[in-house]
Homo-oligomer: A and B are copies of this chain.
Amino acid sequence: MSLYVLILAGGSGERFWPLSRKSRPKQLLALFGEETLLEGTLRRLDGLVPPQNILILTNADQEAGVRTLAKALPPENIVAEPAKRDTAAAIALGVGWVAARNPDATMAVLPADHLIHDAVGFQKTLRVAAAAARETGELVTIGIPPTWACPGFGYIEVGDTLEIAGATSGPPVHDVVRFREKPNAELAEQFLRQGNFRWNAGMFIWTIPAIRAALDAHAPELGAFVSRMGAGENFPSLLADVFPTLPKISIDYAVMEKAARVLMVESAFDWDDVGSWTAIAKYLPELGGGNVSNTALTALDADNNIVFSKLKRRVALLGVSDLIIVETDDAILVCNRHEAEKIKHLIARVPAELQ
């Protein structure tokens, strides 16, 4: 099988400020141990996809950081978008890039910044998804079984289970009934109770002909862009001149929600999008009193604090609770953990060189 992978590594990662910066977003951070999330994403593909079949899409701010981490890839397999155009255009670019190399290939789209420990389960899931994509010619997505009624994710409502001849021993494959946008808390509870909803993690697998047909049908401007790339037009000028003019729309809105039929493979791996400092608390050592920290901690009458020290200095807490404390070479954040979602407003107030 000839599998290609597009890794989307252009996220801004404001929610991990001050550790994250414009030039060093979440996927370039070693939040858990020594490995960055991007490195983990590449490592999980090891043995499944050869490096020359992997394309990383990033942006100018982050390009240098990505190149440093992805040295195993040919340099031309790392591309910086000249403008931020949301996921549909980014994916069209990736589809065109693969189409120019192998117009019949199968291709996966993966975010660079998710935390997944089970590489074996991950590869098994991708193999099933690829088999389903090839066997049916449909668009395939990966669904994560929800562990709680999170209102922050999109959901996938699933229907019948399908038999895929090429993947009889892997996780189940379902028909997608419909995609559901981020629900309110009540609806999310209902999704969880009903049991036939999965989280949409933004991972897709399809054949090049299938995604091209879908783009041509539902997003013709993007389909035309893919055709020009697939036909071998000059890539640098397409990137510099045409890409920035593409519509700014997500792949969910542009294609997935409009496609006649979509399949979903259930993930056979652990998954976390670790979207904020509060989300990483469960991966840091618990040092008593509900305080979690990646560094040495001394606490007195202090509980439920999240402490992250890039410099691994000792942090001492006295009489404080529910704080997020982050320190880096040049900035320190002390934040009420119940107001962490306002970090982006805080960042807007710090000098540009610290953003």
Oligomer: number of copies: 2
Cα A323 to Cα B340 in complex, Å, equals 17
In the complex, what distance in Å separates the CA atom of A318 from the CA atom of B346? 7
Interface residue? A240 (CB, 8 A): no
Quote the shortest CB–CB distance from A18 to chain B (angstroms).
Answer: 7
- A331 to B316 CA separation, bound complex (whole angstroms): 7
**A339: contacting residue among B298, B301, B325, B339, CB under 8 A:** B301
Do the beta carbons of B314 and A346 come within 8 Å of each other? Answer: no
What distance in Å separates the Cβ of A77 from its nearest Cβ neighbour in chain B? Answer: 37
* A317 interfacial by beta-carbon distance below 8 Å: yes
Say whether B330 contacts A313, CB under 8 Å.
Answer: yes
Complex contacts, A345 vs chain B, CB 8 Å: 300
Distance A318 CA – B325 CA, assembled complex (angstroms): 10
Q: Output the least CB separation between A210 and chain B (Å).
A: 45
Task: Count A interface residues, CB 8 Å.
Answer: 38
Find chain B residues with CB under 8 A from A325 CB: 332, 334
Pairwise interchain contact A336-B314, C-beta atoms closer than 8 A: no
CB neighbours of A43 from chain B (8 A): none
Query: Which residues in window 303-317 of A have CB below 8 A to B?
Result: 305, 309, 313-317
Q: Is residue A342 contacting chain B, with contact meaning CB distance below 8 A? A: yes
The reply to whether B301 and A349 form a contact with Cβ atoms under 8 Å apart is no
Instruction: Tell yes or no: A327 within 8 A of B by CB.
Output: yes
Question: A298 to B347, alpha carbons, bound, how many Å?
Answer: 9
A330 to chain B, nearest CB (A): 6
Q: Is the CB of A298 within 8 A of B349?
A: yes
What's the minimum C-beta distance from A190 to chain B, rounded to whole angstroms? Answer: 31
**A342 surroundings in chain B (CB, below 8 A):** 300-301, 318-319
Q: Which of B315, B320, B334, B350 contacts A336 (CB 8 A)?
A: B320
Q: Are B327 and A332 in contact (CB under 8 A)?
A: yes
Contact between chains at B300 and A346 (CB < 8 Å): yes
Asked whether A71 is an interface residue with its Cβ less than 8 Å from the other chain, the reply is: no
- Residues of the B chain whose Cβ atoms lie less than 8 Å from the Cβ of A282: none
Q: Contacts of A333 on B, CB cut-off 8 Å?
A: 315-318
User: A120 CA to B343 CA in the complex, in Å?
Assistant: 49
- A-side residues, CB < 8 A to B, are 17-18, 296, 298, 300-301, 305, 309, 313-320, 323, 325, 327, 329-336, 338-340, 342-343, 345-346, 349-351, 354
27 A–B pairs (Cβ distance < 8 Å), ordered by A: A17-B316, A18-B316, A298-B346, A300-B349, A301-B336, A301-B339, A313-B332, A314-B330, A314-B351, A314-B354, A315-B331, A315-B332, A315-B333, A316-B333, A316-B334, A316-B350, A318-B334, A318-B336, A318-B339, A318-B340, A318-B346, A319-B335, A319-B336, A320-B334, A325-B332, A325-B334, A332-B332
Query: Which 3 A-B pairs have CB atoms at the shortest separation, nearest pair first?
Result: A319-B336, A319-B339, A318-B335
